[in-house]
């Protein structure tokens, strides 16, 4: 090496520093690649992405290959720097050369390439994959020896490198990914995706029409009362009772029942003829599972029962789909009749509204694990039935009791400053 001119040694040192920067930067780039984007691009047939994906299937081997090359060029660069120092200044210059080389490697071969790789991983990772793929085949014996020794050492600490951890995301992690998608996913789309993730956290009891609000027809009523109930029905399917809500005969299509009303035939016999057997679901069924159950049973309406078999309410397929896509309505001005605007511009809220519906309508964050309605939430919070005019702050939302009786709170006024920016109403579908 003494026969080589200094300019050759300096040139070799520069090449080695460039190689060191390549190894350092490519390591960071490959390890910081978005795995899901990489898998998508590989599935689309992009060859450089496919090569990178294959390399990352065994990260221990890839890291062994990169560090093998990086340490080799760094040690060789240190040896060249020592030779250059001896030829320029003798043994006294070795310490200076070591300090300068450390600074140069730190700036030009570590920090700068790794920072660039972290900011733009694909620009460096994909070209590097074309280099590492043949290097892996060429140096596989050395890489294998390094990995056997390092993995053996890791096993002494209870680590099994060969067992690659899955890349599956938990629902909470997926929620964070959706929230951080920003402009890549429209706000409406983000809301729908988050709503799908929430389906397992809610039950049919959270969104069902409660027992006392279930519309239906009782065969024990007079024909005129039955006809009037059918004509004012807000739903296309109604439950048929015989002597009370606890004796359910089945469900019938209102449109088919109107035939007997128009023809003035025997309405009760006609209702029994067109009635279909009732479809029941437990009150604790998750919304996701009930969606699957609706699909399997080819049903659109379910009667919700408790553990004793007593009717608790009714849930429909549109109710469930609204939890994902929002309210089905043709006129936004008709939305959520439980929320209206007072003469002073404040919001008036009917306390029979469900907590989930209220959260969705006003983008509030009231707890949904306890009482299901706003009335129940207020009574649970105050532990008493308040008088009209009472003001309270319900989980940071200021409310004033407008109407109440001996058993329930009927109407409240929202006193928040942002009430003027809230929608006056959002629509509930007519089924």
Q: Contact at 8 Å (CB) between 62 and 55?
A: yes
Fold type of domain 202-325: CBS-domain (3.10.580)
Which of the listed CATH numbers 3.30.465.10, 3.40.640.10, 1.10.10.60, 3.50.50.60 matches domain 332-421?
3.30.465.10
Going from N- to C-terminal start, the domains of the chain cover 6-155, 171-200, 202-325, 332-421
What integer pLDDT is reported at residue 182 of this predicted model? 67
Return per-residue pLDDT of the chain as tens, 431 residues.
566 788 888 898 899 999 999 999 999 999 888 887 888 888 888 888 888 888 888 888 888 889 899 999 999 999 888 888 888 877 778 888 888 988 999 999 899 999 999 999 988 999 999 999 899 888 888 888 888 888 788 788 877 765 555 556 677 777 777 777 766 777 777 778 888 888 888 888 888 888 888 888 898 988 888 888 888 888 888 899 988 888 899 999 888 888 777 766 688 888 888 889 999 999 889 999 999 999 999 998 999 998 888 899 999 998 888 888 876 654 444 556 788 887 777 889 998 888 888 887 888 888 888 888 899 999 998 888 888 988 888 888 899 999 998 888 999 998 876 554 444 444 333 33
CA distance 66 to 181: 32
Task: Give first-to-last CA distance, the chain, whole Å.
Answer: 89
In DSSP terms, 305 is beta-bridged to: 282, 311
Quote the pLDDT of residue 22: 93
| Residue 299 CA: distances (Å) to CA of 43, 85, 235 | 37, 85, 15
Q: Which of 268, 194, 195 is nearest to 229 (CA)?
A: 268
The residue among 110, 146, 115 whose CA lies nearest residue 32 is 115
Phi first, then psi, for residue 327 (nearest 5°) are -70, 140
CA separation (Å) from 182 to 185, 194, 338? 6, 13, 32
- The reply to whether 202-325 and 332-421 are identical in fold is no
Cα 72 to Cα 65, 68, 69, 326, distances in angstroms: 11, 6, 5, 60
Nearest of 409, 377, 413 to residue 395 by alpha carbon: 377
pTM of the entire predicted model: 0.59
In angstroms, the CA 211 to CA 314 distance is 7
């Amino acid at each position: 090496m003494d026969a080589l001119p200094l300019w050759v040694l300096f040139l070799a040192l520069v090449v080695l520093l460039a190689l060191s920067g390549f190894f350092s930067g490519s390591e960071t780039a490959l390890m910081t690649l978005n795995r899901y984007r990489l898998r998508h691009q590989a599935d689309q047939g992009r060859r450089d992405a496919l090569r990178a994906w294959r390399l990352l299937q065994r990260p221990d081997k890839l890291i062994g290959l990169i560090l093998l090359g990086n340490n080799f060029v760094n040690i060789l660069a240190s040896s060249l720097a020592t030779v250059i120092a001896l030829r320029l200044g003798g043994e006294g210059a070795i310490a200076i050369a070591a300090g300068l080389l450390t600074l140069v490697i730190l700036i030009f071969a570590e920090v700068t390439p790794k920072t660039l790789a972290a900011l733009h991983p694909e620009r460096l990772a994909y070209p590097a994959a074309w280099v590492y793929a043949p290097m892996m085949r060429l140096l596989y014996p050395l890489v294998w020896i390094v990995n056997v020794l390092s993995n053996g050492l890791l096993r002494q600490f209870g680590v099994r490198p060969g067992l690659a951890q899955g890349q599956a995301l938990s629902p909470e992690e997926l929620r964070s990914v959706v929230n951080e998608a920003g402009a890549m996913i429209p706000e409406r789309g983000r809301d729908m995706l988050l709503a799908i993730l929430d389906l397992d956290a809610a039950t049919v009891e959270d969104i069902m029409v409660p027992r006392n609000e279930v519309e239906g027809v009782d065969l024990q009523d007079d024909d005129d009362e039955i006809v009037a109930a059918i004509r004012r029905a807000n739903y296309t399917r109604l439950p048929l009772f015989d002597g009370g809500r606890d004796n359910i005969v089945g469900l019938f299509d209102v449109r088919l029942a109107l035939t007997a009303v128009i023809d003035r035939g025997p309405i009760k016999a006609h209702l029994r003829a067109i009635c279909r057997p009732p479809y029941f679901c437990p009150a604790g069924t998750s919304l996701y599972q009930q969606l699957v159950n609706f699909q399997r049973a080819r049903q659109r309406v379910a009667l919700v029962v408790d553990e004793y078999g007593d009717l608790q309410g009714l849930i429909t397929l549109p109710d469930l789909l609204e939890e994902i896509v929002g309210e089905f309505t043709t006129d936004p001005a008709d939305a959520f009749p439980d929320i209206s605007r007072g003469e002073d511009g404040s919001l008036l809220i009917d306390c029979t509204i469900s907590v989930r519906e209220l959260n969705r309508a006003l983008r509030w964050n009231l707890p949904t694990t306890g009482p299901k309605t706003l009335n129940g939430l207020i009574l649970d919070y105050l532990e008493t039935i308040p008088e009209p005019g009472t003001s309270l702050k319900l989980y940071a939302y200021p409310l004033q009791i407008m109407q109440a009786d001996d058993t329930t709170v009927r109407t409240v006024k929202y006193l928040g400053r942002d009430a003027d920016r809230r929608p006056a109403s959002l629509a509930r579908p007519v089924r």
